[in-house]
Structure 1
């Protein structure tokens, strides 16, 4: 059926309605999830930015660009089939990496077509995906790359767990991070994630390699989660921790006490860990996971809340010993306020398009696409919406300004 409600709410426009009419926009048939959009320019990918892109679309009004959530918005199932455009079918991309793969496949890039993402059973047809949402930057970066990562907001990533009341009363409140000596920093967070070492926090010894007590030396188990494969937050977090190959003490599936034969034992064999979703923590009192502060704030503000009781922690700067809170309000006593843009683990978030399509003078330059994603465009013009969804604004003090199209953010030179 035609999804007129989401069509009206989630299509972007930036002074381009007239161009849309002139081009004869045809409303297609929505995919299997009734909350998904229909539009001319189609994007998919990052969980981190799916909600803010939907909000920006709502704020701008009827237009020509639509953004598909990382998982089915009704069933919350990953990798179901979607119809991104009329006469197009694809496996729904779940996360930044999968979104980038899908947009490259849609441009008929042989390297991407030959390497489908995990769970992809149906690759998009030519021209069916126009942009990817990404919470991590270009990799592999190339100043001559075919694709450009266009920044539009600032995010930061904190640690979350299940707790009630004042988080300073919980042992994890003393977690530290060394932002000045990456990737070899000696913060307790890095020692846990990168090195799998026991650390003492608030007088309790924690062991990331121990599944359940008793642990060596009388330690308490701590379960270290990372998001699902293909997630931009997963890639970003591992890089911040100085991790290349994922070690055995990190888990992207939920803790379970009833794993498959031949042994009925304790292991991490449950549901896949979806980023910025507290479900895995809800079922594991000994678990911690990276969680986008912007997503947490946006969910607290009523946008697609899936925290399930997950709460954020401050970090201690291992170099200065200063405690840095994730929020600007009366944290930790009250979890009010916005993203603290000076948090220790920060990143820009991006939309990924073909560089030539947003660069004047190129044979396939698309001025309408530039007017949506580029500097001064439709997305960058909705600062209040971006902030309401929890994200910080880009300005002269951040690495890039909103909509910047620069060679240092290009990727995939061989495409």
Structure 2
């Protein structure tokens, strides 16, 4: 073992122990109650990974991690003020984008660069936020010299959900096609609906995304296309996979009321909007669906997953979201070979997890670094519905700290 590695190990053990003794941190309780915890390392952001990070925090213990849900766990209100550390307050970020914004603001990035999100009237003080949960990668903000590192820890996939299961509509929705090789011009029926707003025929039924209520032209059936709230990483991810830049008029982030789309805000991986709309479909994290089925903060409200047909191969192949007896029964776990997949991340300051850097933070590294605390919690990650990154199915293993996943070079 070289001297650098010995030094890192001593720092990790000593740093955790010292932090625990000095601050009297407590261990959060299991499940949703740990959404508003006491913890030395504060995280905010993604709805997709909030539950698994709560579980990881409980499993690691020592009061080390305080991972705060995207919306208030009791009132379900968004953007209420929180105080995750002494002398620190901020509006609760809702989703990956807002979480990353709060992290950057906490790092003293100027408001002109890290602009406040909607309803953000209370910006975090310096050092308030230590990591941001993100279900999306750096995207167009990627920079090999960026200040912030997106550190992957698990594999997710995103499918389509509705309130239908075992009926004719479910059978039709299970025939939705997707071309994974070409989001922008692919001919899949899912892409035609979301990207182009065109009617499609499934099982002999014509579904029209621009008809809100019957009667529709030519006897078509209305289909309401939902996307999650603004600032959601899943929203950005889904739009990119559908080849969409500017959100078109036929996509909605508020619920259909029967006369307009001025209903409740569509929260990601929450089936409330589908429960009240027999014509609605929405993207849904398969890992989140499995996690909620496993009893972790169930908010599916009767949302059911659907298969997708891979039209980018010949002959076309139907790919199920779950590994079990789907569609006969919704058993099994995330199908790690599903068509639309993604890594999920925690975003931290690069220099703090770069061994040898003068600003290296042993506690932060001990949670997020390769082979460290989070990456050692395979059973927890699987329990919360995600698949592991042991074999780098999308290019990275758990805890990878690489220049290709750095962002915001102007910070």
Tell me if TM exceeds 0.5: yes
| Map of 2:370 onto structure 1 | 375
1: CA distance between counterparts of 2:60 and 2:14?
9
The equivalent of 1:18 in structure 2 is 17
Q: Distance in 2 between matches of 1:39 and 1:113?
A: 28
Q: Is the 8 A contact 2:16 2:363 kept in 1?
A: no
Does the 8 Å CA contact 1:101/1:112 hold for their aligned counterparts? no
The whole-number CA distance in structure 2 between the counterparts of 1:58 and 1:169 is 38
Matched, 1:350 2:350: no
Match of 2:87 in 1: 87
- The structural deviation recorded for 1:295 is 0.1
Q: Which residue of 1 aligns with 2:303?
A: 310
Going from structure 1 to structure 2, the CA distance change for 1:63 and 1:16 (only over 3 Å counts) comes to farther
Give the 3 Å change call, closer, same or farther, for CA 155–14 of structure 1 in structure 2.
farther
CA, structure 1 residues 183+395, in 2 after alignment: closer, same or farther (shift >3 Å)? Answer: farther
Q: Which moved more, 1:80-89 or 1:222-231?
A: 80-89
Is 1:288 the counterpart of 2:281 in the alignment?
A: yes
Matched residue, 1:38: 38
In structure 1, C-alpha distance between the alignment counterparts of 2:232 and 2:365, rounded to whole Å: 26
The offset of 1:35, in angstroms, is 4.8
Determine the structure 2 residue equivalent to 1:242.
Answer: 243
Aligned position for 1:363: 358
**C-alpha contact (below 8 Å) 1:358/1:370 kept by paired residues:** yes
CA distance in 2, matches of 1:194, 1:169: 21
Report the 3-state secondary structure (helix = DSSP H, G, I; strand = E; otherwise coil) of the residue aligned with 1:110.
Answer: coil
2:333 is matched with which residue? 338
Aligned-partner SS, 1:312 = strand
Counterparts in 2 of 1:112 and 1:149: CA distance versus 1, 3 Å? farther
User: What TM-score do you get using the length of structure 2 for normalisation?
Assistant: 0.92
Given that residues 14 and 372 in structure 1 are in contact (C-alpha distance below 8 angstroms), is that contact kept between their aligned partners in structure 2?
no
- Counterpart contact for 2:177–2:308, Cα < 8 Å: yes
User: Is 2:161 the partner of 1:160?
Assistant: yes
For normalisation by structure 1, the TM-score amounts to: 0.91
Check whether the contact 1:152–1:380 (CA below 8 A) recurs between aligned residues: yes
In structure 2, how many angstroms separate the alpha carbons of the residues matched to 1:169 and 1:136?
29
Q: Deviations over 1:17-69 (max 9, x none)?
A: 423245x12559x9xx8851011110100000000001111222223221000
* Structure 2 contact 46–95 (Cα < 8 Å) conserved: yes
8 Å contact from structure 1 (residues 224, 251) kept in 2: yes
Do the aligned partners of 1:168 and 1:332 also contact (CA within 8 Å) in 2? no
Match of 2:5 in 1: none
**Residues 1:54 and 2:47 aligned together:** no
Deviation at 1:214, TM superposition (A): 1.5
Say whether the 8 Å CA contact 1:45–1:134 is kept in structure 2. yes
State the Cα deviation string for residues 304-343 of structure 1 (Å, max 9, x = none).
Answer: 0000000000000012310000000011111010100000
Find the aligned partners of 1:251 and 1:142 in 2 and give their Cα distance. 32
Give the whole-Å Cα distance in 2 for the aligned partners of 1:117 and 1:167.
Answer: 42
1:323 aligns with 2:318: yes
Partner of residue 115, structure 2:
115
CA distance in 2, matches of 1:331, 1:83: 43
The 3 A distance-change label for structure 1 pair 172 and 412 is: same
Structure 2 counterparts to residues 154-303 of structure 1, below 5 A: 154-165=155-166, 169-257=170-258, 266-303=259-296
Task: Tell me by how many angstroms 1:163 deviates.
Answer: 1.4
Look up the SS of the partner of 1:174 in the other structure: coil
Which residue of structure 1 aligns with residue 404 of structure 2?
A: 408
Q: Gapped runs of 5+ residues in structure 1?
A: 1-12, 258-265
| SS class of match (1:285) | coil
CA contact (8 A) 1:297 1:389 kept: yes
The residue that corresponds to 1:6 in the other structure is: none
Worse overlay, 279-288 or 116-125? 116-125
The residue that corresponds to 2:9 in the other structure is none
Distance of 2:75 and 2:375 partners within structure 1? 31
CA–CA distance in structure 2, aligned partners of residues 36 and 397 of structure 1: 32
- Secondary structure of residue in 2 paired with 1:224: strand
Closer, same or farther in 2 for the Cα pair 1:168/1:252, shift >3 Å?
closer
